Amino acid sequence: MAPLTSAGGEDIDYEIFDTTGHLVTAGEWGGPDDDTPGGIGTDPAGNILLTGSSIPPMGYATSRVFLVKRAR
Q: What is the pLDDT along the chain (72 residues), one digit of tens a residue?
A: 566 777 777 888 888 888 899 988 888 878 888 888 888 888 898 888 888 888 877 756 677 888 888 776
Nearest CA to 28 out of 18, 17, 15, 40 is that of: 15
pLDDT of residue 17: 85
Residue 55 lies in a domain: yes
Residue 6 lies in a domain: no
Q: Considering its fold, how many domains does the chain have in total?
A: 1
Domain extent for 64:
12-70
SS3 letters for 3-62?
CCCCCCCCCEEEEEECCCCCEEEEEEECCCCEEEEEEEEECCCCCEEEEEEEECCCCCCC
Residue 41 lies in a domain: yes
Residue 19 lies in a domain: yes
Considering the entire predicted model, what is its pTM? 0.60
